[in-house]
Amino acid sequence: MFLAFAILTLAGALSVLWQRNLILAGMSLVLSFLGLAGLFVLLANPVAAALQLIVYSGAIVVLVLFVIMLLNTHQEEPAERERPIQRWLGLASAALLGVGAVGAVLASPAVEGLKAAPASAMTLQGLGAALFRDHLLGFEVAGLLLLAAMVAAVLLVKKEV
């Protein structure tokens, strides 16, 4: 199961990288988020998986697709100036970073030494208790931040400010 969800996640991400059509890239993003939600279930955290599906696949990707259709930019615009060296250099350095970081994780005896503690699945009750007992102020600040972001978004797209 882990392998299936991991491959789904990475295949969706790679498809975003190669996809020319922006709508299809957004759909690949949904695929990647679905795989991530599956990985969260395997991590005994169904609450996070549900949040992932609702907020990312449900809200954020729909927002991106809405903007793509609103601006009618289904295809990437033809390049003003082709910069093949910079593009391949960027991809190569990203790949180098990936190889180095994965190698470091696989070679680390500290990570390998960690044993999975016997954990029960995360419940909504446990999350709610931790949230409202220890992080009430943070919760209120997050609400204020969402309000500020909403006002900023409305202000930014208004016709004339």
Partner 1 sequence: MDAAAFLQGSLQAYLSVALLLFVTGLGIVLARRSLLVQFMGIELMLNAANLALLAAARWRGGDPQASVLYLFIIAVAACEAAVGLALVVALFRHRATTDADRADLLKQ
- Applying the rule CB under 8 A, the residues between 46 and 85 that interact with partner 1 are 47-48, 51-52, 55-56, 59-60, 63-64, 67-68, 70-71, 73, 76-77, 79-81, 83
CA gyration radius, the chain: 20
- 118 makes contact with partner 1 (CB under 8 A): yes
- 120 makes contact with partner 1 (CB under 8 A): yes
Binding footprint of partner 1, residue count (CB under 8 A):
86
Among 153, 131, 133, 152, CA closest to 142 = 131
CB of 31 to partner 1, least distance (A): 12
Q: Which of 50, 135, 137, 140 binds partner 1 (CB under 8 A)?
A: 135
- 94 makes contact with partner 1 (CB under 8 A): yes
Among 80, 65, 79, CA closest to 21 = 65
- 112 makes contact with partner 1 (CB under 8 A): yes
CB of 41 to partner 1, least distance (A): 11
- 116 makes contact with partner 1 (CB under 8 A): yes
Residue whose structure tokens are 């969706």: 12
d(CA 65, CA 23) in angstroms, rounded, equals 6
Binding mask 3-22 for partner 1 (x = CB under 8 A): x--x--xx--xx-xx----x
CB of 127 to partner 1, least distance (A): 5
d(CA 24, CA 20) in angstroms, rounded, equals 8
Whole-Å CA distances, 95 to 28, 85, 98: 20, 15, 5
d(CA 94, CA 13) in angstroms, rounded, equals 14
